[in-house]
Amino acid sequence: MPTDSLTRRTLPVLRLAGITKRFGPLLANDGISLDLGSGEVLALLGENGAGKSTLVSILFGHYVPDEGTIHAFGAPLPAGDPAAALAAGIGMVHQHVTLADNLSVLDNVMLGTESLWRVKARRGRARRRLVETAERFGLHVNPDARVATLSVGERQRVEILKALTRDARVLILDEPTAVLTPQEAESLFATLQRLVAEGLSLIFISHKLPEVLRVSDRIAVLRHGKLVATLAAAQADRAQLARLMVGHDVPPPIARPHAAGEPVCTLEDVAVGDELDVAALTLHAGEITAIAGVSGNGQQALAGVLFGLRAPDRGEVRVHGRVLPARPRAWVAAGVARIPEDRQAVGLVGALPLWENAIAERYATRFARYAVVRRRAAYRYARELAGRFDVRAGSGVDTPARALSGGNMQKLILGRALAADLAGEPPPVLIVADRPTWGLDVGAIAFVQQQLLDACARGAAVLLISDDLDEIYALADRIAVIHAGRLTAAKPAAEWDLAAIGLAMAGVT
């Protein structure tokens, strides 16, 4: 896709100069200046909290900068006015689609394009424009299809069409492949190539470094709100980008030699409503079994069962031969370590300090006597956990959990799950990790992945639920794919290729 970026940069379509934005004491954007050329793909990289979302929100009119200016196609862009951004030809495709499921494709594309005072919508004209745009860019969808019936990839096409039918000349794509199958991602890349060939300019936000290098002409890297580098994609590599994002080298996770052992957990004919239907799954000691799939296909029901939060409507789940009740305490007592997907709403209690969150799963058994907290022991445990897992907190273990960064929240949850020895307990026999690196920067991702690999090498069975195929291939010994709640057989990772996983994720067996 990348072509001669030097030629493109002589024709700037966007120019950001000295953009600064503060939220109280937090300096989210610090004097950022960038430009975007006609027909150029500019990738925006940065760790979680680096300022990417704030910058594009300012560009799209959702935020007003404290300092700085934006020019679009040579004219000043009014601050804090999304309608002005749309009128200037700036469109945005969000990571999670913002369509109305109960409406048709045509109705979704037309939403907000006509005056409320118009007696009759000009549907015929809108349909012709939609069909022409779809054919021009190869984004084929049925205008009359209800959005609820479309695949994730088809919904994304509708989002892009919404922008293109409104004459977008600059398109911002926020993590566009996060919920796509490999085949859908390839289709998206082909679409982007056609868009660029037509002269459209793209701002591409992604944490997947291989696709950033593949798609972009230039890469802008943010760190702690500052623009630390702008470089040509052709002259960059993954290690260099990771180092720029976090400020130091990021060693890749390394698997230690290990062999699969006895079965630890078995699922037989397990069903949860219409959300989950698992014929059989066995998790072995010393093995990482990954569940691949597009988010929303039954992963949460599976995690809920293995966290002890939900009882199956049918079938049995056994840990070391025992059927456990749907009570989290029973699962923790049986040696099951739980790493939930939503670290803020489920994993931690934001108002409580770090030390109370650290002992939350062992309060009654290890850190209380006659319902009175053994505070000294709890503080010592929390400090040791924070030290081992590099949990950085401004006020130490008294820091409220909500004040931690996303990466430090996840390290706290990881420590609570894996540091049983610090509380005088045996290590976990089973680790259920539900999207454990979601939303983390490359440094935190490498740390979390290494901890899972080390726990596996020590003999734990690990179930990794993830929609990141790079992560799955890096960690998994066996892979199963979930679609519409149904789970394929778990096969050795070497027996899956990218095409087969992609078809299985789309429900093709």
Q: Is the pLDDT of residue 3 over 60?
A: no
3-state DSSP call for residue 420? Answer: helix
d(CA 307, CA 334): 11
Q: What is the mean pLDDT of residues 345-372?
A: 89
Q: 367 to each of 198, 355, 396, how far by Cα in Å? A: 64, 11, 19
Q: What is the mean pLDDT of residues 164-183?
A: 84
Q: Is the pLDDT of residue 216 over 50?
A: yes
Q: Is the pLDDT of residue 119 over 60?
A: no
Please give the mean pLDDT across all residues of the chain: 89
382-435 pLDDT per residue, tens: 999 999 988 988 788 999 998 887 778 889 999 999 988 888 889 999 999 998
What tokens does 47 get?
A: 């760790």
Indicate the pLDDT class of residue 477, thresholds 50, 70 and 90. Answer: very high
Place of tokens 């030390």: 355
Q: Where are the alpha helices (DSSP H) in 309-441?
A: 328-333, 354-358, 363-366, 375-388, 406-418
Q: Is the dihedral of CA 225, 228, 232, 235 positive or negative?
A: negative
Indicate the pLDDT class of residue 136, thresholds 50, 70 and 90. Answer: confident
Domains and their CATH numbers in the chain: 5-246 (3.40.50.300), 251-335+427-509 (3.40.50.300), 348-425 (no CATH)
| Alpha-carbon 504 to chain mean position | 20
371 backbone φψ class: left, alpha, beta (φ>0; ψ -120 to 50): left
Burial class (CB in 10 A: 0-12, 13-18, 19+), 383: middle
Q: What is the pLDDT of residue 405?
A: 77
Q: Is the pLDDT of residue 169 over 90?
A: yes
Q: What is the pLDDT of residue 9?
A: 45
β-strands 263-272, 430-434 pairing: unpaired
Q: Is the pLDDT of residue 478 over 90?
A: yes
Q: 95 to each of 41, 45, 178, 406, how far by Cα in Å? A: 18, 15, 7, 18
Q: Is the pLDDT of residue 332 over 80?
A: yes
Q: What is the mean pLDDT of residues 203-227?
A: 92
d(CA 154, CA 160): 10
For the chain, give the percent of residues with pLDDT over 90: 54
Q: What is the mean pLDDT of residues 324-334?
A: 92
Indicate the pLDDT class of residue 8, thresholds 50, 70 and 90. Answer: very low
Q: What is the mean pLDDT of residues 233-243?
A: 93
Q: What is the pLDDT of residue 5?
A: 44
Q: What is the mean pLDDT of residues 24-35?
A: 92
48-60 pLDDT per residue, tens: 778 888 899 999 8
278-304 pLDDT per residue, tens: 999 999 999 999 999 988 889 999 999
Q: What is the pLDDT of residue 10?
A: 53
Q: What is the pLDDT of residue 23?
A: 86
d(CA 329, CA 340): 15
Q: What is the pLDDT of residue 176?
A: 83
What tokens does 160 get?
A: 């892009």
**C-alpha Rg value of the chain to the nearest Å:** 25
Question: Which segment of 179-188, 257-266, 453-462 scores lowest on mean pLDDT?
Answer: 179-188
Place of tokens 């004219």: 75
3-state DSSP call for residue 463? Answer: strand
Closest CA to 2 of 207, 173, 201: 201
Q: What is the pLDDT of residue 275?
A: 92
- The separation between the first and the last C-alpha atoms of the chain, rounded to the nearest angstrom, is 32
Indicate the pLDDT class of residue 257, thresholds 50, 70 and 90. Answer: confident
Return the half-sphere exposure (C-beta side, CA atoms, 13 A cut-off) of residue 388.
19
Burial class (CB in 10 A: 0-12, 13-18, 19+), 248: exposed
Q: What is the mean pLDDT of residues 212-219?
A: 95
Q: Is the pLDDT of residue 379 over 60?
A: yes
Q: Is the pLDDT of residue 120 over 90?
A: no
d(CA 143, CA 150): 11
Q: Where are the alpha helices (DSSP H) in 60-122?
A: 82-87, 105-110
Q: What is the pLDDT of residue 6?
A: 42
pTM (2 d.p.)? 0.77
Indicate the pLDDT class of residue 7, thresholds 50, 70 and 90. Answer: very low
Q: Is the pLDDT of residue 315 over 90?
A: yes
